[in-house]
Chain A
């Protein structure tokens, strides 16, 4: 008896095809039913049915993100996003965030971390270069980490800054000083052979400054990666409650955005 026939029989027995938790045996034991020479309808290898080319196939398709696509859909563009995560300041939280990005192959440009105004909370700022779907997934996966309190993506007009230390050859101190002033930088160390300066600014300013200093010969460079805050009244990460590491008070009074 085929499974289909069994199923039909079972359906006839019980109008709504529910089970009663009891044992039901097929009318015939499969042993008596099946242990006989092969009948011609059932295949001895594989299964019967229309071959792949004999079946109807829908024409629609999806792209690599599972979105149903227009026929002339090209590769999806990537964009840069700055993501801010408010986290519990506990050992390993940075490793968890970094490990997540490595494991899921999110393309990460920079990652910075530092304290916030709330004891026990830190802010991680990440710059990622991903497709729209990739950025969405990166934010969601980050938010899923247990020590992560809140995740926000910064708008285009957010304030962002980065710091770079540049050690250049010291043969032309006046010129170096002029370029440093031009970028509102500071000289941290000046000797007969090397000069070390500090430049802060947004990513483009830093890139420009590095280009400008190339003429002197850059010996060493250290760059922090971008950190950022939302402009004006907008909180950088969406409104969150105090984490369990902070004092759990039912205090609705507004103190700061990191609370």
Chain B
């Protein structure tokens, strides 16, 4: 099983991340081999053997009728099972576990409502290309199609939101199918896969060993890019006067942060990231302009607007990044590196497509760029530095006013370790957590990007906590609206005594909606006013967690220190300025360069 990436203590500029390659001990390898060659008794035994053969250590799920045979077999397995309060908790926890580990997370649910409760999290993983395996119970094959009790067409429902899904139809094959699904999830462009397990198939007898998890041969892409593509892209980069690296989530998923950092530093090319790409490049590095897009920094959006050569790696040019495509990097030659050829020219035309694995391709590009011709865009770097001065992310504090959310984020950042994991829900609090926390390492920002799933943060913190080394801190920023959506998972954190710190940036609104209503709906706060919120600190205590409360600046220090020091789940109910809004902001479909710095500019 691979270890989570840990920053190495090293003075070497290029060795500040650790790739999450699978590093089995001899014992682990022997265990996996034993599972692969073991003679199972039933289909359910084969499913579990397949998980063990894949090196799965933890699964998250909720029991139920149709999945019971699998759970029964799991009770005798080396795979730990974390029972969650709701299947949505299980799927988000598995998702975050996978993000932190760099291996697919595994979630399980029964048929019908169990499976449909996974749907949001599977869609989330699909949008963010997170490797994940979902196992769902199903009514017996003989009853499929009869609208039996707790029957849902899970394969049909999840087809559009999985990389691929399988309906297991044979006890002899089900183990191999699960192995294939696991391997496929992490092959090429990662994504969620699902295996639907009818009860008669898992109950049925089989003596067929499951073998090593193997993806379908056709699904394994060539990591190397075509030499001509590389050469063409290299020439374009050499000729650039204002080159800009755009590192997306694919840089992190492809374990290419080391190569990406070395590349940018070698040629002195400024870097912006996408939101999922946060942590691919240290945000305290002079070359880093943080992240671009709707709520990205002014300087990142200026750079992306004025670059003449955009070196985009592992990004799908989501509309939150590009704003209106017509005005996106309008003068840039686009070099687009991606493992998925279908992403090339999907949203933004790639002048120089380079299809391959991020780490491999960056090395190929690096080798192809001639040293004599290598860019060293000094003026451009100075220009970017100037923009950073012009558009600072600074804000004023007034001790008599309500607490600013940015301040709370920065206070936790200052008091926690550099390599802490941050998970978030979705909304204003997510943007502040992304803007005002300085990320230095890949996989440390665990969030719901493409789908924008409120309620992601707490279950993700549980998954991240279980995946991470014990000495790494896990902090979850939540909004009041987000937190209430999956708050039941706090019972799991208490039961497992997980050392997580939940920080609720509580403005008694679904604040991002309120911000839009103020800007575009004449301040009509229809259904966004959440003045009915419970006392989250008291509620946390009712769950058996530790509660803290922030009402003004004087409370911050004690709450931060107390919550971080508490060995177990703690909840900080931070009552922030209810009028605080997220800036910069690029209006939907507008030009990135027209980012608003305050409401009157929208």
Cα–Cα distance between A140 and B189 once the two chains are bound (Å)? 14
| A-B pair number, CB within 8 angstroms | 214
Interface membership of A57, Cβ < 8 A: yes
| Segment at the B interface, from A60-68, A113-121, A189-197, A207-215 | A60-68
Chain B: number of interface residues, binned into ranges: 35 or more
Q: Are B7 and A61 in contact (CB under 8 A)?
A: no
CB distance from A3 to the nearest CB of B (A): 6
By beta carbon, the residue of chain A nearest B556 is A31
Q: Are the C-beta atoms of B340 and A51 separated by less than 8 Å?
A: no
Q: What's the nearest-Cβ distance from chain A to residue B229, in Å?
A: 16
B159–A30 CB distance below 8 A: no
Most buried by A among B155, B219, B394, B419: B394
When distances are taken between beta carbons in the complex, the residues of chain B under 8 Å from A37 are 398-400
Give, as a whole number of angstroms, the nearest-CB distance from A141 to chain B.
5
CA A42 to CA B583, docked complex, whole Å: 14
Known contacts A17-B285, A57-B591: does B167 contact A46 (CB below 8 Å)?
Answer: no
With CB as the reference atom, state the residue of chain B lying closest to A248: B217
Q: Which chain A residues numbered 1 to 33 have a C-beta less than 8 Å away from chain B?
A: 2-4, 6-7, 10-11, 16-26, 29-31
Instruction: Tell me, in angstroms, the Cα distance from A49 to B282 when the chains sit together.
Output: 24
Give the chain B neighbours of A147 by CB distance below 8 A.
Answer: 164
Task: Assess whether B284 is in contact with A7, with CB atoms less than 8 Å apart.
Answer: yes
In-complex Cβ contact of A2 among B160, B394, B440 (8 A): B394
Across-interface contacts of B394 in A (CB, < 8 A): 2-3, 41-43, 47-48
Q: Which of A89-97, A158-166, A173-181, A223-231 contacts B (4 or more CB under 8 A)?
A: A89-97
The complex places the Cα of A96 from the Cα of B161 at a distance, in Å, of: 11
Query: Which stretch, B8-16, B22-30, B233-241, B356-364, touches the partner chain A?
Result: B8-16
Task: State which of B8, B159, B553, B597 has its C-beta within 8 Å of the C-beta of A49.
Answer: B597
A244 to chain B, nearest CB (A): 6
Of the candidates A7, A23, A51, A66, which one forms a contact with B349 in the assembled complex, judged by CB atoms under 8 Å apart? A66
A217 close to chain B: CB less than 8 A:
no
Instruction: Kindly list chain B residues whose C-beta atoms are within 8 Å of the C-beta of A218.
Output: none
A47 adjacent to B584 (CB under 8 Å)? yes
Q: Contact at A140–B598, with CB atoms within 8 Å?
A: no
Q: A60-B330, A136-B345 are in contact. List 12 more A-B contacts (CB 8 A).
A: A3-B394, A18-B282, A22-B9, A30-B407, A38-B397, A43-B598, A50-B390, A55-B594, A61-B327, A62-B348, A62-B349, A99-B160
User: In residues 290-348 of chain B, which contact A (Cβ within 8 Å)?
Assistant: 298, 302, 305-306, 317, 322, 325-328, 330-331, 334, 340-342, 344-348
Q: Which of A19, A29, A140 contacts B7 (CB 8 A)?
A: A19
Check B327–A62 contact: CB distance below 8 A. yes
14 sampled A-B residue pairs with Cβ under 8 A: A11-B285, A18-B10, A47-B392, A47-B394, A51-B601, A57-B591, A58-B330, A59-B330, A62-B349, A64-B326, A66-B345, A92-B156, A241-B218, A244-B217
Please state if B9 and A241 are interface contacts (CB–CB under 8 Å).
no
In the complex, chain B residues 414-458 whose Cβ is within 8 Å of any chain A Cβ: 414, 417-419, 438, 440-441
> Is B147 among interface residues, defined by CB-CB distance under 8 A?
no
Q: A141 vs B401: C-alpha distance in the bound complex, in angstroms?
A: 53
**A43 to B334 alpha-carbon distance, docked (Å):** 36
The main secondary structure of chain B at its interface with chain A is loop
B contact residues around A23 at 8 Å (CB): 417-418
Residue of B nearest to A32 (CB): B557
Q: Is the interface of A mostly helix, strand, loop or mixed?
A: loop
Q: Is B596 an interface residue (CB 8 A)?
A: yes
Inter-subunit contact B326/A63 (CB<8 Å): yes
CA distance A11 to B286 in the complex (A): 7
CB contact under 8 A between A34 and B11, given known A17-B286, A62-B328: no
Chain A min CB distance to B141 (Å): 12
Chain B positions within 8 Å of A136 at CB level: 345
Q: Which residues of chain B are near A2, meaning CB under 8 Å?
A: 392, 394
Q: Does A71 make an interface contact (CB < 8 A)?
A: no
Among B331, B342, B579, which residue has the most Cβ atoms of chain A within 10 A? B342
B345 touches A133 (CB 8 A): yes
Complex CA gap A4/B394 in Å reads: 9
Bound CA–CA A17/B288 (angstroms): 11
Q: Which of B9, B282, B330, B334 has the most CB of A within 10 A?
A: B330
